[in-house]
Amino acid sequence: MNAEQFKALVKETKIGKRLPDAIYLHKTALVEAPSEIAKFIPIVANALKVDANEWDIVKLFKSDFKLSLLSYPEFFSDPYPALKQSVTVDLSKLAHRVTNYENHENPPILHRKETMLCANHPNYNDYQQVTEQAEQLRFYENPRMIGFKNGWRKEINKKGYDLVDGNLIKLEETTHPQVKENKIDRHKTALVRHDLSAPMKTLVKHGFLNGDYTVFDYGCGRGDDLRELEAHGIDALGWDPVYNPEADKVTSNIVNVGFVINVIEDRAERIHVLQDAWLLTESVLVVSAMLGNESIVSQFQPYKDGVITSRNTFQKYFTQSELKAFIESALDEAATAIAPGIFYIFKSKELEQHFLQNRHKRAYKWQHITAPDPVNENQARILFAQNEKLFESFWICCLSLGRCPANDEFEQSDKIKEVVGSNKKALQLVLKWYNEEELALAEQMRKEDILLYFALAQFEKRKPYTQQPEDLKRDIKAFFDNYKVVQNQATELLYEIANVELINQLCLDANNTLPASKLDYEKGLPHALTLHKDFIPQLPLVLRVYIGAALQMFGYLDDIQLVKIHIKSGKVTLLGFEGFDTTPLPQLKERVKIKMAEQDVDFFDYIIEEKRTLLLDKIKYIDETFDDYKKQKAFNKRLLKELELTEMKQLNKIQIESLLNPKALSLKGYRFYHSNKK
């Protein structure tokens, strides 16, 4: 059975509890499922040596070639049975993951059991009455809260009831103890902040906090992030073992585990926290932790695999590669680097593909409208004139895609159909008025972006073609004919970043064609090309892949301005400066060296401002598109003259002042002042 057959059979399955992403049915109900499904599930269970007594419910995924065998030992004895074990099988990867909840303090539970049984099952009517009672008492009003044992009990308690031996009892009639979360004494690690935390800021940047997603902050500390999110109208909840232990851990689109695992001294507990958070995640899990090197660790008292700080708290300082490996081993899922110490793990694979595909996607900017060529088709000319705004919007859409849009890719396709018949006919028409070379360039840009995406996708676990987003499938068909072609070209492209001669030549070419860059030499030979991050999209495709491969381990370049490509060593250095856009002499505050061959990242921070190296030749990395270009150009010319240098050297603020003081000169912004003048 292949993925398409499986999806078709799941679609044909009429029995079971139907959710947006899956169907749940009891194994006794397989008799009413399609026969191929009914035969296939036991085959999978036997292949994984999952005994028939070890699973009761099968979960059939609608969009993925996956199923889960779920064990609810008390299915027939408890109105709301708890999950004991889950065996999730990814049939596309021929892999499976076992999750045990037997000793879990807050396991998932079942509702509406009758929907998973055949209508003629002897218990069907009894379970239906249980569901009707819960509905009458309005226990299902908040579906986010009822999927786990503690949340379910809390919702029942709010309505004046409690569960005793599976039966609903009025709360005043029972002295049944409340369920309490275990407390962990790590309260000193919770910081007070007055702005969003770094992980939350990344969610803002990438559009995840636009109100479309629910958020759960796992280990929310004092709740600073939650208050800010709630102020913006975002559906956000949180739990913390110290400051909010009575709150429930609820399923949400986005779950944030922000700087939590680094304060846990037990490795097994760290893994449990990640797995627990993953169970609550519907779309994307955000994991962040403290990064540090030997110089930081050596300042504190060693303890287990971390240190005891001066505040008597535990800290596990990770390296970037170590954190990525830890997350992936704990969850058996690919972790995407977003920033130093911050990773996204996508449960929604479609969302993951869209996110990664757009990570390196460039937008073609329409430069101009050419003058209409004389045509004989008077009717076409009149038609265009009557609908000029419509065709202009259509053309912009074509440029954004690099091809003719499908009907659902252009919001006015119905209007196009009325006017000219189809999108293809509309493209033929607008090419008489607009520049066909612009479309060809947009197509080339889109093809390169797709190749870049698939080349870098080979570093991670990616979905097969059948599970790629529909717009990407259309791109593949339009630009490469089939999936195999684009995969082969992407693989060849990835191999090319190891070709030192090619990288050398491309760096030489790029230094001549980029708006601004600097080529460093060592012993008379090209050593490295340094450029501003804004110019990365203008690099040859192989160099974009070279940088992209390095950034797989780092994330986005939010606080970085310059990128250095080391030609021979397979390294990329990232340089972050204080005041790059506002001062003529930016201070180097962060240097990151990414070693691709070793799959490792070294971080270097420059804390003492006076000793930070100044960027004396900023002018070499910017062009007219930067606001201060003209001022910077004049400043650098004067600076070389006053320092009596033929080329810029590495100097810090103290050294600059010592060179200017004998001339009674001082600097303020982009201007020089004589110290004896007011």
Asked if residue 454 lies in contact with residue 475, where contact means CB atoms within 8 angstroms, the answer is no
Q: What percent of the chain has pLDDT over 70?
A: 89
**511 CB neighbour count, 10 Å cutoff:** 16
pLDDT bin (cut points 50, 70, 90) of residue 181 is very low
Is the separation of the CB atoms in 570 and 596 below 8 Å? Answer: yes
Rounded Cα–Cα distance for residues 313 and 265 (Å): 10
Residue 176: its pLDDT value, please?
A: 40
- Mean of pLDDT values over 416-438: 88
Q: How would residue 369 be classed by pLDDT, with cut points 50, 70 and 90?
A: very low
The whole-number pLDDT of residue 302 equals 85
Q: Return mean pLDDT, the chain.
A: 85
What's the CA gap between 239 and 626, in Å, rounded?
45
Beta bridge partners of 88: 68, 97
Give per-residue pLDDT as tens, 538-594.
999 999 999 999 998 888 888 899 999 999 999 999 999 999 999 999 999 999 999
Characterize the bridge pairing of strands 281-288 and 252-258.
parallel
Question: Band of the pLDDT at 666, cuts 50, 70, 90?
Answer: confident
pLDDT score at 177: 41
Q: What percentage of the chain reaches a pLDDT higher than 90?
A: 40
CATH domain 187-347 topology: Rossmann fold (3.40.50)
Question: Which range among 6-20, 481-495, 532-546 has the greatest average pLDDT?
Answer: 532-546
Looking at residue 237, its amino acid is L
Output the pLDDT for position 647.
Answer: 62
Alpha helices in 237-288 (DSSP H): 267-280
Give me the mean pLDDT over the 187-212 stretch: 76
Using alpha carbons, select from 637, 539, 553 the residue that is nearest to residue 592.
553
Q: Report how far residue 669's alpha carbon sits from residue 656's, in angstroms, rounded to the nearest whole number.
A: 14
Q: Which residue is listed with tokens 């990414």? A: 594
- Looking at residue 380, its pLDDT comes to 62
> What was the pLDDT predicted at 72?
93
| Confidence band for 373, pLDDT divided at 50, 70 and 90 | very low
Tens digit of pLDDT for each residue in 89-134? 888 777 788 888 887 777 888 889 999 999 999 999 988 988 888 8
3-state secondary structure of 88: strand
Confidence band (pLDDT; 50, 70, 90) for 346?
A: very high
State the pLDDT at residue 462.
60
Q: Picking from 105-119, 129-143, 186-200, 660-674, which range would have the lowest pLDDT averaged per residue?
A: 186-200
Evaluate whether 457 touches 355 at the Cβ level (below 8 Å): no
CA distance 217 to 238: 4
Pure H helices in 53-161? 124-136, 149-158
Can you say how many angstroms the Cα of residue 24 is from the centroid of all Cα atoms in its chain? 29
The secondary structure of residue 593, as a DSSP letter, is E
Residue 193 pLDDT exceeds 70: no
Quickly tell me which residue has 């958070």 as its tokens: 277
The predicted pLDDT at position 9 comes to 93
Q: Given a cut of 50, is residue 526 above it in pLDDT?
A: yes
| 46-75 tens-digit pLDDT | 888 888 888 999 999 988 888 999 999 999
pLDDT in tens, 281-310: 999 999 999 888 777 777 788 888 888 876
For the stretch 620-648, pLDDT in tens is: 999 999 999 999 999 988 888 887 765 66
- pLDDT at site 118: 93
